[in-house]
Amino acid sequence: MNDKPLVSVVVATYNMAQYICEAVDSVLNQDYQNIEVILVDDGSEDDTQQKLQRYAGDQRVKIFWQHNAGQTAAKNRGLNEAVGEYIGFCDADNYWLPGKLSMQLDFCEENKKPTVIYGDLQLIDVLGKNLNTPIVKRYSGKITGPLLMDNFVTFNTTLIPRRILDEVGGFDETLRMGIDYDLWLRISVHYDFQYLPKPLVGYRIWGGQMSNRTGERFENFFRLMKNFLGKYPDSVSSVEIKRGWAHTYVSRGRWQVTERRYRAALQDYLTAFRLRPYDWRLWKSMLKFGLGR
């Protein structure tokens, strides 16, 4: 009997035949081997099913097909099918770097308290070549306050004890984007996060990403922040709430400028000013906006 904990890795895919095997192989080739891959094909119309035939004899890979219902439903299906003590995620267009699981599970052995463990990423291009990767400020411990300003927890790097997801629930299927951000916020109210300062995944930058739909992404962020603060009003201080809202308005204002929506950008900056008039990031953005205009 294997006395090592089983890790379930959820891979949701839709029309990603060109990348899916690289993602699955990166999980199967980890030096930690007590794993199962829960692969949910969300109604792909390309040759994904043909590509997945290579795993037909591998008992570690469990493949489920469903009519197209969106990434949120596909990921929740994966969670429902998983039986592991720990849950990880690998999106079909990304891959795990060698040693990811062993590093995270070593921490679990040393720290018995249930904790979400995450790390850095390495940006890659369409062909998998490394790109310059910006340094992101990340946090450990109780992270709700900083998290309200920005989602610095990279989805594919996380390893989560199953008991945490059983308590807080899975992904919110009323959201189309930002579903991981919503989940991290809900988890952060009750549990710690631990940041490992090492690249754990290759994160692909390409034109088909949902994250390129910036306007819709901001709409989802505003909605999920409002929902979260409505459900957990005492999870952060009033100062942290104002700082979080101001940061988000400034971020959207900057994007509005790149889209030449100058009036909308100014409205976002003014809203941020009313919330946090001494925000250095706001003043820097407004100065740049004024000089550009």
pLDDT of residue 249: 95
pLDDT of residue 207: 72
pLDDT of residue 108: 87
User: Where do the DSSP E strands lie in the chain?
Assistant: 7-13, 35-41, 61-65, 86-89, 95-96, 115-124, 159-161, 192-204
Q: Which of 171, 210, 219 is nearest to 91 (CA)?
A: 210
Judged on CB neighbours under 10 Å (0-12, 13-18, 19+), 179 is buried
The rounded distance, in Å, linking the Cα atoms of 244 and 134 is 21
pLDDT lower than 70: segments of the chain:
1-2, 208-212, 291-293
pTM above 0.75, yes or no: yes
pLDDT of residue 1: 47
pLDDT of residue 139: 97
Alpha-carbon 275 to chain mean position: 27
The rounded distance, in Å, linking the Cα atoms of 254 and 249 is 9
